[in-house]
Amino acid sequence: MRVLKTLAQTTVLGCAVSMIPAAAFAGGWSTEGIADYDLLFAKERFAFEAQSTVALRNVDFKNAKTTVNSVIDLSALGSAKADDIAPNLWLNSGSVKLGLTDNLDLFARVSQPYAISEQPGFDWNGRFAIAETNADALGIDAMLSYKHEVSDGKFIRVFGGVRSVTVDYEQLSRSLDTNTFEESDVAINVETDREYGFRLGAAFEVPEIALRALVAYESEIDLDLEGDLAGLVAVPLAASANATLPQSLEAKIQTGVAPGWLVSLGVKWTDWSVLNELSVDLPAASATVVRDLSYSDGWIVEAGVGHQLTEKLSVGSTLTWDKGIGGPYSDYYALGLGGSYDLTENVKFSLGGRAIYKTAGEGAYNIQRTVGATTTEVNTDYEYDSSWNFAVSSKLRVAF
């Protein structure tokens, strides 16, 4: 029984390492990892977590070629490269778990679940397609969880609830008068009201050996964006757009394997191919701007191991593979290392880092602008080399 008791204490891997949202590098717009709501399973009646992550990204475009209507070559009107197109990100979140009864728990979270920051700039020849894309999201999640003991020490848990998000989207570029070669700025700024989806899941738990196996589904979230577009016509006009944030399915299992040791394996599929384009409409001018995204579905696989060194100190490591979804978001491989220390009986501090090897790739920015009966298509093809990226994340947990 002492071995089982020691295994039951080994619940540190999530705090030690898996807190780092590596998807902020290459897994599309999502900043969330696999089953990143571990706080829901905290054994304490009340628990609170605050997390902050700095993502240090390193992507340079090269060999850019830009054409208009597949005929006019604009490649000489700017540099064929763009350095540091993916600025660093700072991501924050806060979560709370409250035990309402012995079997019923409430989980709530405020986070930045999606982030876009692509800034090749206004000096490369691709500025006639995309110079900058920036988007911020504010997510608020709430779930209820019910745990039922099916036999001695073995539990089934079902959980589900609401996911919600607001999104602010900005897309900057230049248009070109091919007769005078005069450039003008084109700026799209649109945002959403709060939009809603849901999460449903189930887990099998044996706390005595730190065993947990879960599967969860997250629904699509349809976005209705409103704002304005300036530069395509003489005056800024009201603009609207529709987009869909993808559904996902994930599974994760963890278990104690020896006194003080925990291993885990997780996989997540995200339906990024549903986001094949972003179309912005200006009804007053019979105009549209369509951005072809052509994403493919995303896959993330992550294996981890954690070890409890002392009663207060634990360490862990993860290996991650992310398939990428296309464009500047290529495959990556990551190694994460971290530690968790009990500052007091009720307060735990975690610090982790992740080194990410992002593979070389190629992509394209394809923009179609229509005003009345005139359509202009701008295409920029680009390449990028492999690169190393990094993240540092800290987390503070208070539980009692």
Give residue-wise pLDDT tens across range 257-285. Answer: 988 899 999 999 999 999 999 999 999 99
pLDDT score of 52: 93
Q: Which of 327, 343, 379 is nearest to 61 (CA)?
A: 327
How far apart, in whole angstroms, are the C-alpha atoms of residue 254 and residue 189?
A: 43
How far apart, in whole angstroms, are the C-alpha atoms of residue 235 and residue 231?
A: 7
Q: Is the dihedral angle over the CA atoms 316, 319, 325, 328 positive or is it negative? A: positive
Question: Which of the residues in the chain have pLDDT under 70?
Answer: 1-27
Spell 146-166 as b/e; 16+ CB within 10 A means b: ebeeeeeeebebebebebbbe
CB 221 within 8 A of CB 198: no
pLDDT score of 180: 85
pLDDT digits (tens, 9 = 90+) for 81-123: 999 999 999 999 999 999 999 999 999 999 999 999 999 999 9
How far apart, in whole angstroms, are the C-alpha atoms of residue 192 and residue 224?
A: 6
Alpha-carbon radius of gyration of the chain: 23
pLDDT score of 181: 84
Q: Which residue has the tokens 């996902």?
A: 248
Cα angle for residues 116, 171, 239 (degrees, 5° grid): 120
CA distances for 301 relative to 103, 250, 319, 320, angstroms? 31, 10, 8, 6
pTM > 0.85:
yes
Q: Is 41 helix (H, G, I), strand (E, B) or coil?
A: helix
CA distances for 372 relative to 191, 210, 234, 376, angstroms? 25, 63, 14, 11
Phi, psi of 41 (to 5 degrees): -95, 10
Which alpha helices (DSSP H) does the chain contain, by range?
2-8, 13-16, 23-26
pLDDT score of 29: 86
pLDDT score of 27: 60
Q: Who's near 308: CB < 8 A, 6+ residues apart?
A: 9, 10, 12, 260, 261, 314
How far apart, in whole angstroms, are the C-alpha atoms of residue 5 and residue 122?
A: 60
Q: Who's near 216: CB < 8 A, 6+ residues apart?
A: 35, 159, 199, 200, 201, 202, 249, 250, 251
